[in-house]
Amino acid sequence: MPEVKEDVSVKEYFEEIVPKIFEEEMSKLSVTGMEGTAFTVEFDVEGQSYGMTIKDAKELSITEGSLDSPMLKVKLSEDAWRKAVTGKMEGATDMFTDMGQMASRKRYDTLAAAKGTMDLELSMPDGSTERISVTFNGAESPRVIFKTALEDWAKISSGEMPGPTAFMQGKLKIDGDMGFAMSLGNLMT
């Protein structure tokens, strides 16, 4: 993957680096069963919006500004975004942006059916907290808050630790609509 510099601009990242990451990641995958799909995600980095549309898990387009009805809308501070893209918050957004994970029909169908908002509160190694909000298919409610340490979230995102296991071990705290939280379980296994 291309190295992302500390001073990368939001525009440069989405318009120049994301297409390179997409091309590199997709060259490693054999994608089947994604015909007729269009995964859409909008990133709102403190008022700077960029949309990504991935058709058939093969073709990427980047749009400056908002998308009409994105499947996911990821809202985060510029500090959290910068940490995520430069590797200081590894795994923070992978569950919703990793090309290999997105090239799964089961995962696509789960994302397409999800309706609600997940607020993620990540405890950082330095004691601070970073917040990321993910709205599924434009639905502000139901709403759930997941609270966990960054290192545990990275394990959940990668599938190394299933979300239900993290919850049962007390490594993932959940506040809000438990039914919605459980519906997101397929994204965390």
For residue 142, whether the previous peptide bond is cis, meaning omega lies within 30 degrees of 0, is: yes
Q: Greater confidence, 118 or 100?
A: 118
The pLDDT assigned to 145 comes to: 97
- What's the whole-model pTM score? 0.91
The pLDDT assigned to 163 comes to: 85
Least confident of 46-60, 82-96, 163-177: 82-96
The pLDDT assigned to 156 comes to: 87
Tell whether the model's pLDDT for residue 1 goes beyond 90: no
Instruction: Give how far the C-alpha of residue 114 lies from the chain's centroid of Cα atoms, to the nearest Å.
Output: 14
The pLDDT assigned to 189 comes to: 55
Contact, 87 vs 70, CB < 8 A? no
91, 147, 156, 173 from 170: Cα distances, Å: 19, 10, 13, 6
The pLDDT assigned to 97 comes to: 67
Instruction: Give how far the C-alpha of residue 78 lies from the chain's centroid of Cα atoms, to the nearest Å.
Output: 15
The pLDDT assigned to 149 comes to: 96
The pLDDT assigned to 95 comes to: 67
Contact, 142 vs 184, CB < 8 A? no
- Cβ within 8 Å of residue 146, ≥6 positions away: 118, 119, 120, 121, 153, 172, 173, 174, 181
CA gap 83, 60 in Å, rounded = 24
Mean pLDDT of 163-173: 92
The pLDDT assigned to 182 comes to: 87
Tell whether the model's pLDDT for residue 20 goes beyond 60: yes
